[in-house]
Amino acid sequence: MTAKTAQIKDKDGNSWLYSDIVREHFFHPRHMLLNSEDFDLTGYYEGRVGSPACGDEMVIWVKIDNEKISDCKWQTFGCGSAIASTSILAEMVLENEGMTLVEAKQVTPQDIIKRLGGLPPRKIHCSILGDQALQKAIQNYESQNK
C-alpha cells in the first residue's frame, strides 16, 4: 500500500494536529543535550519539571554570563509538542546573542505557543512546562549567586 498525505481536520475544517513549525522542531530538534555526548555541564544551572509518571519531564540547563544567557541545553521525555516546545524555547533564549535574565524571566507559555504557530488546545499543558523549567534554572542561578 502507498501512504497518503492527509491532514486531520476538526469540525470547523481546521487542521487538528501540529503546525509546520512544531513538526520542524519535532523532527529536527535543536540545542538538546545528547546522552551519548560527553558534555561538561560545569557552570550550567539546571531546572527540572514534570515527571515520567505525568507523561512529561523536561530539564533545561543554562549558562549565564553578565546577566545574559550564553548557552542553553535541554532534554525532554514527552510527546511531540513537548519536544518541539523545549527546542523552540532554547532557540528563543539563545537568539540575538542570548536573552537577558530580565527578558528570560518574562517568557510565558503564550510566547512559546505563538512561536510554534499554535498548538492543539489539549497540548498546551506540555509547553507550559518548558518555561517553568527555564524559570527554575534561573532561580537556581540566582540563589547560588547572591
Interface residue list for other proteins (CB under 8 A)? 1-5, 26-29, 32-36, 48, 51-59, 74-80, 82-83, 122-123, 125-126
Query: Could you tell me the smallest distance in angstroms from the CB atom of residue 1 to other proteins?
Result: 4
Q: Please work out, in degrees rounded to the nearest 5, the angle formed at the alpha carbon of residue 97 by the alpha carbons of 94 and 101.
A: 65
Q: How far apart are CA 51 and CA 108, in angstroms?
A: 21
Nearer to other proteins, 29 or 68 (CB): 29
Nearer to other proteins, 2 or 96 (CB): 2
Rg of the chain, C-alpha, whole Å: 16
Query: Could you tell me the smallest distance in angstroms from the CB atom of residue 146 to other proteins?
Result: 27
Nearer to other proteins, 37 or 145 (CB): 37
Chain-centroid distance, C-alpha 90: 6
Query: Could you tell me the smallest distance in angstroms from the CB atom of residue 85 to other proteins?
Result: 12
Buried (b) or exposed (e) across 105-135, using 16+ Cβ within 10 A? eebebeebbebbebbbeebbbbbbbbbbbbb
Query: Could you tell me the smallest distance in angstroms from the CB atom of residue 118 to other proteins?
Result: 17
> Catalytic site residues?
54, 126
Nearer to other proteins, 21 or 32 (CB): 32
Q: Where are the alpha helices (DSSP H) in 12-79?
A: 20-27
Please give the torsion angle defined by the CA atoms of residues 60, 66, 68 and 69, in that order, rounded to the nearest 10 degrees. -30
